[in-house]
Amino acid sequence: MNLNVNQESNYNTGIYLRGLTKHYQREGVIVPALNEVTLHIARSSQVAIMGPSGCGKTTLLHTTAGILTPTAGSIRIEGQELAGMKETDLSTLRLRRFGFVFQDGQLLPELTNAENVALPLMLLGVPKKQALQKADTQLASLGLAGSGKYLPGQLSGGQAQRVAIARALVTNPQVVFADEPTGSLDQATSAEVMQVLTQATAQTGATLVVVTHDKGVASWLQHTIHMCDGKIESVVSRTSMAPSENKSTHPNTSAATPATASTANYATPYETAEKAEEN
């Protein structure tokens, strides 16, 4: 993580934003939402974006992910420039290289959980049977073995969000973008979802970018980018420990059962590290 980017040549991995600007037009009035954001997010890092409502968090996420076209500036992901790409190329790139988790999962209610997770693979041309098998494996790796045949409506909010995470990860994306992924969940369930999301992305090495207004959610991530009025105010990094060193084991082998565990079981790796330093 580095705000003071001087040498462009060093930023061909991870996410590199330079002078990223986005203005909306509303009823003929220009609404500046992002104002020359320059930022490097290293590959495989896990980052929170925080700031008051309306400061541009979602706009930053959506322009970085190629969902919104920037007004000006550059977005390089793993060395590839997104600004100026055709929409058809962008949509293929999003499907192949990015995973998305939204506040309310946005699962298709008439499809089974496995079909929801298999969908991105099928859109990429993977045959249905193979895609469904991979979906079931992905669900099992997130502690949802056997849930593939059910509908999203038959799950709890936290379980449904884990299905959404499975759908985001099933294509093995380079970057996972999450916008308020725990926005509709209680504290204990939020912690459970953040544990699954951070562990799973640490295992694949995907870069993880999470927009949140919740400090508890941000405490699961290595870095917090604070935004204000379309600009980055500060970047706070918690510890230099690698995620793999301070995260507990794979969800399937974790001693705590996420659905029933209390928040006390979800002291985040960074809280643990900070407490250890105090002692």
Ligand X SMILES: Nc1ncnc2c1ncn2[C@@H]1O[C@H](COP(=O)(O)OP(=O)(O)O)[C@@H](O)[C@H]1O
* Interacting residues toward Mg ion by CB under 5 A: 57-58
Q: How far is the CB of 58 from Mg ion (least distance, A)?
A: 3
Binding partner of residue 24 among Mg ion, ligand X, none, CB cut-off 5 to 8 Å per kind: ligand X
Half-sphere exposure of 70 (CA within 13 A, CB side): 27
Closer residue to ligand X (CB): 60 or 193 = 60
By CB under 6 A, which span of 23-31, 118-126, 238-246, 251-259 interacts with ligand X?
A: 23-31
Looking at 46-54, 78-86, 164-172, 233-241, which segment touches ligand X (CB under 6 A)?
Answer: 46-54
Residue 171's binding partner among ligand X, Mg ion, none (Cβ under 5 to 8 angstroms by kind) is none
Check: CB of residue 20 under 8 Å from CB of residue 37: yes
Residue 106 interacts, among ligand X, Mg ion, none and using kind-specific CB cut-offs from 5 to 8 Å, with: none
Contact 34, 65 (CB under 8 A): no
- Sheet with 223-228: strands ordered across: 98-101, 175-179, 207-211, 46-50, 223-228, 231-237
Rg, Å, the chain Cα set: 19
Tell how strand 175-179 and strand 98-101 pair up. parallel
134 binds ligand X (CB under 6 A): no
Q: What is the contact surface with ligand X in residues (CB under 6 A)?
A: 24, 26, 31, 33, 51, 53-59
